[in-house]
Amino acid sequence: MKIQPAPFLLLIIPILICSSCNLLSAKSVQYVNPLGQMIQTEQPPVVGANQTEVKLEKNDWSNIWIENANQSEKTRILFVGDSITDGYYTQVKENLSPEYYLGYYVTSKFIGNPDFQTELTTILDRYEFEIIQINNGLHGWDYSIDDYQKGLEELKGILDDHAPNALIIWCMTTQVRVEDNLESLDKLNQDVTLRNQSALEILGENGVLINDLYQGMLKHPEYYRYDGFHFNDAGKEALA
């Protein structure tokens, strides 16, 4: 004898299936942020239509180091940047650590990269910095100047929202010189000057202090290593 399903079952089964689908789509998601904190959200992060496209380089890296994280007696300074900041941080530490608590966030990420913005925001929300110096301009050559300007504007918003009381210092990006011909500037340096001009207009004209490392290094090719990007020991000392 063949058993026919009751009419109400034919109606209720699709409803249950749809309800299950909705429950699955609303299922909370957990992930670990850059500081090892477990974050729970109702939906996984969604890339917005206005978010900058991520254009990866060969090596993607970030390093975070916060000294004396559990102390609060001294003024705390954060250095944000790339390998240039990483290079002169040791000298800066020697100069400033007796009087300040120092930390750095150095990365290969372009300033408009949403991962850069997420990592920086996480650090600013965890620690309170009285001074923040930023030197980020020698990565992301596949991005346009419009992308860089957008990244600067977004950075200004992050700093206003997450470090409203901090003194912000922006470092002008240093020159790119021709490899093994350090007296000459590389064609990429044209992008450096455009980025520096954008930083002056977007940040410098809106209350951010400018540390003009570009002019400071312009007449000193002897401070550079052979690759035209990075600095030798004398250059690192001068930058610090």
Is residue 239 within 8 A of residue 88, CB to CB? The reply is: yes
CA nearest neighbour of 152 among 100, 94, 204: 204
pLDDT tens digits for range 88-106: 999 999 999 999 999 999 9
E strand or H helix that includes residue 197: helix 189-202
Residue 33 confidence (pLDDT) above 60 = no
| Closest among 109, 4, 106, 13 to 52, alpha carbons compared | 109
Token digits for 225?
Answer: 């290593």
Q: Mean pLDDT check: name the lowest of 16-25, 61-70, 143-152, 219-228.
A: 16-25
Taking phi over 0 as left and psi of -120 to 50 as alpha, with beta for the rest, 87 belongs to alpha
Q: What is the CATH number of domain 62-239?
A: 3.40.50.1110
Within 13 Å and on the Cβ side, how many CA atoms surround 129? 29
Q: What is the pLDDT of residue 51?
A: 74
Tell me, what's the pLDDT at 38?
53
Whether the pLDDT of residue 26 is over 60: the answer is no
pLDDT of amino acid 3? 46
Query: How confident is the model over 162-187, as a mean pLDDT?
Result: 98
- The residue-averaged pLDDT of 198-217 equals 97
pTM for the whole thing? Answer: 0.79
CA distance 112 to 108: 12
Work out the average pLDDT over 163-192. Answer: 98
Domain ranges of the chain: 62-239
Q: What share of the chain is helix, strand, coil (3-state, %, to 5)?
A: 40, 20, 40
pLDDT of residue 67: 97
Between 5 and 175, the higher pLDDT residue: 175
- Residue 36: pLDDT over 70: no
